[in-house]
Chain A
Amino acid sequence: MNERVEVFGARRGLTGILTESDAAANANAPTILLTNVGIQTRVGPGRIWVELARRLAASGFPVLRFDLSGMGDSAVRSGGASESERAVLDMRDAMDHLGRKYGAKHFVVIGFCSGTDAAHGVALADPRVAGMIWVEGYAYRTRRFLVRWHMKRLLSLHRWRRYARSQLARLRLTAGQRRSLGEEDLIFTRDYPTRELLSRQLEELLHRGVRILAVYSGADNITYGYSGQFFEMMPGAFRGRVDELFVPEADHLFTTPEHRRALVEQLAGWIEDRFGERPTLRTGT
């Protein structure tokens, strides 16, 4: 396993770690790009990106984990672009750098939670993206989801206990604290594309030949609740064209090590299936 620091981008402000196998790499394998999850660094929650990078490198896929501008160890990008525009510029800087230095031609981008915006944005903007994975990405409730959700809530003893505890805890709060409860939700609210727009964008990506995997957890999810929801939550026929993985037992950040390890295997397995071939020697410059 070979891990080295890569510093790149405008004024060499972006910082990442490139992970490659020591000996063999697949000359035509795409390079995998991983970035921040929420405000966490390139390491990922529970160090998931480190584990995934090492697992994929062992299969011949180079992986760059890097911090978007203004996060982790990367510098702030000047120029006044919006957060989502900056993320796309950062991702393209990463691709340009890997193309120049190592001859990388195509990429698989993986976005986790809010990182989906960067992955999806660059996939739309840059034809070098050959694959895209969302983990806990865009999701929209369906009628079936709502029925199941309410039934589960009514029948779950754990939920009733949690509800009672939360109401008791609320009684102990001051009026000011109660008012501020909703503020956190406002801070963490993100704008999703409309269902119609997302559907059109996915069609565009599929038309370009981009392979897509969408992964959703179930345990913590208030929007996504059953296997196959992806194909019912927006217009368009995506069954058989987009891969979906639903992990009902995992929470939003896959915090249980067992779930995290399983997710690493699932993501690596999907990339191997979709982009794998016999490894050949590959050298950097």
Chain B
Amino acid sequence: MTPFFFGPEDHPLFGVYHPPDAADRRAGVVLCYPLFTEYEHAHWPFRKLAVRLARAGFHVLRFDYTGTGDSHGDLEEGSPKKWREDVGAAVKELKELAGLRSVSLVGLRLGAALAFEVACAREDVGEVVLWEPVVRGNHYLREMEDLEEDRRRWSRHPLPRDTNALLAYPFVPNMRHEIAGLDLLGTPSGFKGRVVMLAAEDRPEQRELARRLETDAQSVQLRIQPAAPSGALGDEALRILVAALEEGTA
């Protein structure tokens, strides 16, 4: 694997490129991390997923959005609009690195919402894998706020309230506003490639999204896989994701 910076010189993004570690499938996958505390939990499973995909012959790029991980900037500068541009930059980078005409996107949670919106807006994304997707941004914010409330309730001492922060991360008004506005059910899709959705719980909004995508997409697969003891990001989920992407290039 090769860690490197890419993108514009004044705001480089950090990425790790995993070249194929088996017969080259001539297929690439860009991994889109979740954000905030979920990023911290996802780093290791994403590394494992990237290694497994490389062993299955894929070119893989995982990268940090602006203001996250090792990439340029502060989180306060970020917003879904900015992060979608970053996904676009990562797609371009992987295509150039591997000499490919199109790639697949795999996104987890908020990363899935970003991946979906980018896939709908581009011609060079052949498949999008939505892993535990955030379908509605306002639901996601509510979940974060509930977790923040839990954190306060169980803390040994009262914690100060910061209206511009949630779960240890800055949450400035513009970012909050844009996240609240995310709604995959309201996004005109038109995506013509393959869609795979993987979730541990069967939720109505996922079914509704799958139903809507069927109109244009080449195929839509909704997999409900109850979380194994190792968790929703465990080995079983990784195995399903690799198999789904292999199927797409078979």
- Given known pairs A45-B168, A162-B154, the reply for A3 and B3 (CB within 8 Å) is no
Query: With A and B bound together, what is the CA distance between A73 and B18 in angstroms?
Result: 12
Task: Determine how close the nearest CB of chain B comes to the CB of A9; give it in whole angstroms.
Answer: 13
Is the Cβ of B5 less than 8 Å from the Cβ of A258? no
Q: Which of A56-72 contact B (CB under 8 A)?
A: 72
Inter-chain CA distance A258–B165, complex, in Å, is 9
Q: Which of B79-87, B109-117, B156-164, B213-221 contacts A (4 or more CB under 8 A)?
A: B156-164
State A220–B151 Cα separation when bound (angstroms).
12
Contact A162 B156 (CB under 8 A): yes
A47 touches B153 (CB 8 A): no
Chain A residues with CB below 8 A from B180, complex form: none
* B156 touching A219, Cβ below 8 Å: yes
- Chain B residues contacting A35 (CB-CB under 8 Å) are none
Across the interface, do B3 and A5 meet the contact criterion of CB distance under 8 Å?
A: yes
What is the chain B residue whose CB lies nearest that of A258?
B162
B24 at interface by CB-CB < 8 Å? no
Q: Which of B74, B157, B165 contacts A219 (CB 8 A)?
A: B157
Distance, CA A72 to CA B126, complexed state (A): 30
| Interface hit among A181-189, A228-236, A247-255 | A247-255
- With A7-B3, A50-B70, A257-B162 already in contact, the answer to whether A72 and B43 are too (CB < 8 A) is yes
Q: Pick from B1, B5, B156, B168: contact of A253, CB below 8 A.
A: B168
With A45-B168, A162-B153, A219-B155 known to touch, is A3 a contact of B5 (CB < 8 Å)? yes
A→B interface (CB under 8 Å):
3-5, 7, 15, 17, 39-43, 45-47, 50-51, 72-73, 156, 158-159, 162, 165-166, 218-220, 222, 249, 251, 253, 255-258, 260
Interface membership of B170, Cβ < 8 A: yes
Please tell me which one of the listed residues A3, A162, A251 contacts residue B70 in the complex, with CB atoms under 8 A apart. Answer: A3
Give A72's nearest chain B residue, CB to CB: B43
**Please, how many angstroms separate the alpha-carbon atoms of A3 and B40 in the complex?**
21
Which of B4, B75, B162 contacts A5 (CB under 8 A)? B4
Cross-chain contact B68 with A47 (CB below 8 angstroms) = yes
List of A residues within 8 angstroms of B14 by Cβ: 5, 17
When distances are taken between beta carbons in the complex, the residues of chain B under 8 Å from A40 are 40
Taken together as a complex, chains A and B put the C-alpha atoms of A46 and B67 apart, in Å, by 11
From A72, A166, A220, contact of B157 by CB (8 A): A220
Q: A3-B72, A42-B70, A251-B159 are in contact. List 10 more A-B contacts (CB 8 A).
A: A3-B5, A39-B44, A43-B70, A47-B69, A72-B43, A162-B153, A219-B155, A220-B156, A255-B167, A260-B168
Contact A45 B155, CB 8 Å, known A15-B3, A256-B168: no
Cβ contact of A73, chosen from B3, B156, B159, cutoff 8 A? B3
Number of A-B contacts (CB under 8 A): 80
User: Which one, B1, B5, B40, contacts A45 given CB within 8 A?
Assistant: B40
For the complex formed, measure the closest distance between the CB of B137 and the CB atoms of chain A, giving whole angstroms: 21
Report Cα–Cα, A166/B155, bound state, in Å.
Answer: 11
Q: Please state if A257 and B159 are interface contacts (CB–CB under 8 Å).
A: no
* Interface residue? B101 (CB, 8 A): no
Chain A residues in 8 Å Cβ range of B153: 162, 165
Q: Are A256 and B70 in contact (CB under 8 A)?
A: no
Q: How far is the CA of A219 from the CA of B164 in the complex (A)?
A: 21
- A-B contacts, 14 listed (Cβ < 8 Å): A4-B5, A5-B3, A41-B43, A43-B70, A47-B69, A73-B3, A158-B157, A162-B154, A219-B156, A220-B157, A222-B156, A256-B168, A257-B162, A257-B170
Kindly list the 6 A-B residue pairs having the minimum CB-CB distance in the complex, ordered from nearest.
A255-B168, A219-B157, A46-B168, A5-B3, A257-B165, A158-B158
**A256 lies within 8 A of B160 (CB):** yes
Residue of B nearest to A50 (CB): B70
Min distance, Cβ A147 to any Cβ of chain B, angstroms: 17
**Cβ-neighbour of A17 out of B16, B70, B159 (below 8 A):** B70
CA distance A159 to B155 in the complex (A): 9
Q: Please measure, in the bound complex, the distance between the C-alpha atom of A253 and the C-alpha atom of B40, giving whole angstroms.
A: 13
Interface set, chain B 163-210, CB cutoff 8 A to A = 164-165, 167-170
A224 to chain B, nearest CB (A): 13
Does chain A have a CB within 8 A of B47?
yes
Chain A residues, Cβ within 8 Å of B4: 5
Minimum distance in angstroms from B93 CB to a CB of chain A:
15
**Among residues 1 to 58 in chain B, which have CB atoms less than 8 Å away from a CB atom of chain A?**
1, 3-5, 12, 14, 16, 40, 43-44, 47
